[in-house]
A and B are shown apart, each in its own frame.
Chain A
Amino acid sequence: MTGSRSPFPRFLSDGSFRPVMVGGCVAAFIMVLSPLAAIIWVSFFENKIISFPPTGYTFDWYRAAAAMPQFRDGFFTSLELGVVATLVSLIVGVPAALVLARGRFPGREAIQSLLLAPLIVPGIVAGAALYMFLIEVELASGVQVAMTFTGLAIAHSLIALPWTVRLVTASLVGLDPQLKEAALTMGAREFTAFRLVTWPLIRPGVVAGALFAFIASFVDLEKSLFLVGPGMTTLPIVIVNYLEWSIDPTIAAVATVQIAIISAGLVLTDRYFKLARAF
């Protein structure tokens, strides 16, 4: 007599509608999640040759990967790049967001589009363009830029910038302007008002922006492709290079490490917001 424990509202549960919709949904999730599940699973396979069912499980491949210099170097380079890119994008992007969030002014749309442009231009195109540009700079100045950390840092800062700009602006816009005005009428100077009122309220947005910027930088492939060189390369590129020769549990382990790092970053974001909401 009672309704079934369906997660759907009553009126959608009849006929072929629900099965087809849920079926499509399940198919979509299988498509999206299976590669990740597969690679995590394979990273623990005992046998180097992938077989199904697996002969056994082991952590060996993780140890092996950690011992291989290209993975270690790639990992740390990606990490450093991520931190540098995030910091640069915050230093440069937060002020920009402050201006953009003020409201309409002539040229605002143009500036906004410009700052978000790195996301619109295809990675390959932007990467190639930056590479050619830096080579020209190199030739003109005699200073090596491409294949250095600096070159990569510039590229990654550009990757990170739209994320911080967008997320910080969004949280500034969501802020009630009267809060800061109240502080000003009570005698606070601009910067004090910012420090004591605005900043604590936009902090979650800034943190989110920073975390997404870091993640975007860490996983980037296309823009970094042109700017890496022997001894200076990122983890995703190391993974791609390895894959062009072989598919085995070692590379699966490395990929899983990347997955773990990103997941940790996302969990961190989640925890931060929950804490902020508790206040």
Chain B
Amino acid sequence: MDRVVEQGIQGVSALAITGEGSLTGGRPAPGGTDRRRRRSTAGWLLFPSLTLVLAGLILPLALMARTSVAHFDAASPDLVGFTLENYARFFGEPFYLMILARTLLVALSCTAICLVLGVPAAFVISRVESRTLKTALILATIIPLLMGNAVRAAGWMVLLADKGLINSALLSAGLIAEPVRILYTGSAVVIGLIAVLLPFMVISLESVFENIGTAYEEAAQTMGAPPWTAFFRVTLPLAMPGVFSGCLLCFVLAMNAYATPVLIGGPSFQMMAPKVFEQAIKVYNWPFAATIALVLMAVTLVLSVASSLALQKRYGVL
């Protein structure tokens, strides 16, 4: 049962962005006269949850799409007009394009570094022979995941601030004369995001490495391959589906990040998600906020699908 729950958790946290992961197997539904009775009960059973999602998510999203093409009137919240001026503004002004570009850059860097750190971590965990150590490491990966972004961002602030732990330590050790500015820079945001995203990468990869098993590596080694060769020619190629879903997950989460850029990047480091909030709540320009939100979703979606297709071409169905 633990295994099943584990799979459920992995499935949720590494979600069907790639459209993968059917919840159930291929079992066909019961047939015959049973079917009609079951269909009506099924309807009643599904009704409340579907209503909740439709009313709470789908409908609002549709409304938001509508809002993005409305005209911004500071005086009234009514949706009037049908205009593309919001989109024109976003794509026309370099300021906003730069925010998008910066968000993309941050997301891509985070994904790359998460891969470089996540692969060793996942591989080591999967090959550890002691049961207790492996459980401890997996727990140490999952627990921070569930702490929430606010708390983890707070932790980085405590560490990286001019008056934070790291600077205090360096100052009192006499290694520096003045505090080093780390907080409120792009690098700090990247560091903070990596810490948030790594567990996702590690979890995606760890189960993949476990499933591959050691037999192929052993075979490669008996045939003369030293460990690095065996890893790059056998293990890693077989792990590509996991690598891809891990990268995709990290990329999407980084694109949509809010707490970390706001707290660690500060007001001068602008990224897309904080911008949505600012426009909606502080400036009260809903149409523009909706526009930014939709552009964010669209860009993320397009890049995900495009890379998925490109990789499928190269590696076959993932």
Measured CA separation A11–B54 after assembly (Å): 54
Determine whether the beta carbon of A92 is less than 8 Å from that of B52: yes
Determine whether the beta carbon of A239 is less than 8 Å from that of B227: no
Determine whether the beta carbon of B154 is less than 8 Å from that of A252: yes
Q: Cβ of A70 < 8 Å from any Cβ of B?
A: no
Q: Which A residues touch B8, using CB under 8 A? A: 166-167, 169-171, 205, 208-209
Measured CA separation A21–B232 after assembly (Å): 13
Measured CA separation A11–B194 after assembly (Å): 31
0/1 interface trace, chain A 8-21, chain B, CB 8 Å (1 if under): 11011011111011
Determine whether the beta carbon of B195 is less than 8 Å from that of A167: no
Measured CA separation A243–B265 after assembly (Å): 12
- Can you name the residue of chain B whose Cβ is closest to the Cβ of A265? B146
Contact of A125 among B120, B133, B147, B256 (CB under 8 A): B256
Contact of A36 among B147, B263, B290, B293 (CB under 8 A): B147
Measured CA separation A251–B64 after assembly (Å): 35
Q: Cβ of A144 < 8 Å from any Cβ of B?
A: no
**A-facing residues in B1-19 (Cβ within 8 Å):** 1-5, 7-9, 11-12, 15-17
Measured CA separation A187–B63 after assembly (Å): 51
Determine whether the beta carbon of A95 is less than 8 Å from that of B151: no
Distance in Å from the Cβ of B54 to the closest Cβ of chain A? 8
Q: Cβ of A66 < 8 Å from any Cβ of B?
A: no
**A-facing residues in B177-228 (Cβ within 8 Å):** 191-192, 194-195, 198-199, 202, 214, 217-218, 221, 226-228
Determine whether the beta carbon of A50 is less than 8 Å from that of B164: yes
Q: Which B residues touch A173, using CB under 8 A? A: 4, 23-25
Measured CA separation A35–B256 after assembly (Å): 21
- Can you name the residue of chain A whose Cβ is closest to the Cβ of B120? A24
Determine whether the beta carbon of B63 is less than 8 Å from that of A32: no
Binding site secondary structure of chain A? helix
Determine whether the beta carbon of B116 is less than 8 Å from that of A236: no
Q: Cβ of B109 < 8 Å from any Cβ of A?
A: no
Contact of A95 among B45, B56, B157, B163 (CB under 8 A): B45
- Can you name the residue of chain A whose Cβ is closest to the Cβ of B166? A52
Determine whether the beta carbon of B289 is less than 8 Å from that of A205: no
Determine whether the beta carbon of B59 is less than 8 Å from that of A133: yes
Q: Cβ of B77 < 8 Å from any Cβ of A?
A: yes
* The stretch of B27-35, B82-90, B91-99 that contacts the partner chain: B27-35
Q: What is the number of contacts between chain A and chain B, taking CB atoms within 8 Å?
A: 385
Measured CA separation A102–B262 after assembly (Å): 44
Measured CA separation A88–B252 after assembly (Å): 28
Q: Which A residues touch B17, using CB under 8 A? A: 120
Measured CA separation A22–B133 after assembly (Å): 14
Determine whether the beta carbon of B263 is less than 8 Å from that of A28: no
0/1 interface trace, chain A 70-112, chain B, CB 8 Å (1 if under): 0000000000000000001001110110111111110011011
Question: Which of B23, B199, B202, B297: most chain A CB closer than 10 A?
Answer: B23
Determine whether the beta carbon of A119 is less than 8 Å from that of B172: no
Determine whether the beta carbon of B141 is less than 8 Å from that of A118: no
Determine whether the beta carbon of B4 is less than 8 Å from that of A31: no
Q: Cβ of B38 < 8 Å from any Cβ of A?
A: yes
- Can you name the residue of chain B whose Cβ is closest to the Cβ of A158? B56
Determine whether the beta carbon of B56 is less than 8 Å from that of A119: no
Q: Cβ of A196 < 8 Å from any Cβ of B?
A: no
Q: Which A residues touch B140, using CB under 8 A? A: 29, 32-33
Q: Which residues of A contact B (CB under 8 A)?
A: 7-9, 11-12, 14-18, 20-25, 27-29, 31-39, 42, 49-53, 88, 91-93, 95-96, 98-105, 108-109, 111-126, 128-133, 135-136, 139, 154-155, 157-158, 161-163, 165-167, 169-171, 173-174, 204-205, 208-209, 212, 215-216, 218-222, 225-226, 236-237, 239-240, 243-244, 247, 251-252, 255, 258-259, 262-263, 266, 273, 276-277
Q: A52-B168, A122-B273, A221-B259 are in contact. List 6 more A-B contacts (CB 8 A).
A: A50-B165, A99-B46, A128-B280, A243-B150, A262-B143, A263-B143
Q: List 10 A-B contacts (CB under 8 A).
A: A17-B231, A31-B194, A51-B168, A52-B165, A95-B48, A124-B258, A133-B59, A171-B5, A174-B4, A237-B150
Q: Which residues of B contact A (CB under 8 A)?
A: 1-5, 7-9, 11-12, 15-17, 22-30, 38, 42, 44-46, 48-50, 52-54, 56-61, 63-64, 67, 77, 116-121, 123-125, 127-130, 133, 137, 140-141, 143-144, 146-159, 161, 163-165, 168-169, 171-172, 191-192, 194-195, 198-199, 202, 214, 217-218, 221, 226-228, 231, 252, 255-256, 258-259, 262-263, 273, 276-277, 280-281, 286, 289-290, 293-294, 296-297, 300
Closest 5 CB pairs of A and B: A35-B155, A24-B120, A219-B148, A170-B8, A122-B256
